[in-house]
Amino acid sequence: MAFSTRLAWPLRPALAALRQAAPRQCRGLSIPVGPGQTLDLRGIFPPLATPFSPTQEVDYAQLEGNLRRYANIPFRGLVVLGSNGEYPYLAPRERLEVVSCVHQALPRDRLLLAGSGCESTQATIELTVSMAEAGADVALVVTPCYYRGAMTNAALVQHYTEVADASPIPVVLYSVPANTGLDLPLEAVLTLAQHPNIVGIKDSGGDITRMGLMVHKTRQEDFQVLAGSAGFLMASYALGASGGVCALANVLGAPLCQLDRLCREGNWQEARDLQHRLIEPNTAVTRRFGIPGLKKAMEWFGYYGGPCRAPLAPLSPPQVEELRGAFSANGWL
């Protein structure tokens, strides 16, 4: 899915209005980063679903309610404005307001990652700076993809290098070929890992061999690999991944944090048993039913899911039953 190159430019007036309304909202990094220091990305990050009202307006009260519930789960941090946040469907002002809302509610020991990838390098830089000023700790930058045939290794390295050079906060690369049709080349990742302001990658492709090579070949760099799905989380940890940005964490956050802990403690049998029970629910809220399925499942576990923005459509009754079966068959409902 392509992201607009024009949306970043109206952000400055919106940001100014936000800062006037809440002049103390910006905190910078939760964890200081400087020469010789590494930003610790170890742990689980849910990529937050953006809640909408029945009239498809962003529902900030429901967002705050979900955040209060997530505060009781030992997440490393939260991701806003990722694929599961319906980022392409949000207006410029809404994007900043969502970051600001989450920033103000987030405990100070947790990181806030915000999606800032646009199609052009210039727009990505503009949005990244705005997200930093609104309170993001880390920029999550998806690959530009509209002109994917021209997105060579050299073009992508140049794009990310310019963004990282200009960004006031650390950058995490984001490869999500299911949405973009473009896998960030391994060669580009290895080159970009040497940049001092690029601290990691969220890889949602599911190629475990590729992830293992990333970990192995960047072991001399301050660079961390994050699994982009709960379906291959344990396998990623076995190969040295630092953490996971997992849609299923919106629904089963505590079990995913338990899986993270079991892997770190080396309790691989327990970890395997738990991973097995997470595979089908994860597939259901990602590849099978997508964001409408994720939001429906959230409601069964005490969170507000609500509608998606059009043209994303709600699930049909048979789809809801199939979704429920994926959770109940594995002991979650």
Residue 270 CA: distances (Å) to CA of 102, 208, 256, 331: 33, 21, 13, 15
Q: Percentage of residues in the chain with pLDDT exceeding 90?
A: 87
As to burial, measured by CB atoms within 10 angstroms (0-12 exposed, 13-18 middle, 19+ buried), residue 82 is buried
Angstrom distance (rounded) from CA 72 to CA 91: 30
Quickly list DSSP for 234-281.
HHHHHTT--EEE-GGGGTSHHHHHHHHHHHHHT-HHHHHHHHHHHHHH
* Terminal-to-terminal C-alpha distance of the chain: 33
pLDDT surpasses 50 at 10: no
* The predicted structure's pLDDT at residue 32: 37
For residue 116, the model assigns a pLDDT of: 97
Is the pLDDT confidence value at 26 over 80? no
Beta strands in the chain, from DSSP E residues, in sequence order? 43-45, 77-80, 111-115, 138-142, 171-175, 198-203, 224-227, 243-245
Domains in the chain: boundaries: 43-277
* Tens of pLDDT, residues 216-225: 999 999 999 9
Question: Is the predicted pLDDT of residue 30 greater than 90, yes or no?
Answer: no
Q: How far is CA 185 from CA 7, 26, 175, 182, 243, in A?
A: 27, 34, 9, 9, 21
- Mean pLDDT for the chain overall: 90
Q: For 287, which DSSP code?
A: I
pLDDT tens by residue, 37-96: 479 999 999 999 999 999 999 999 999 999 999 999 999 999 999 999 999 999 989 999
- The residues carrying an active-site annotation are 174, 202
Tell whether residue 245 is among the known ligand binding residues. yes
- Using one digit for the tens of pLDDT, what is the confidence trace for 88-130? 999 989 999 999 999 999 999 999 999 999 999 999 999 999 9
* Greater pLDDT, 315 or 178: 315
The structure's pTM equals 0.88
> Is the predicted pLDDT of residue 270 greater than 90, yes or no?
yes
- What is the tens place of the pLDDT at every residue in 296-309? 999 999 999 999 99
The confidence score (pLDDT) of residue 214 equals 97
pLDDT range class, residue 19, cuts 50, 70, 90: very low
**Contact present, 129 and 153 (Cβ < 8 Å):** no
CATH 3.20.20.70 fits 43-277, yes or no: yes
Give the pLDDT of residue 92. 87
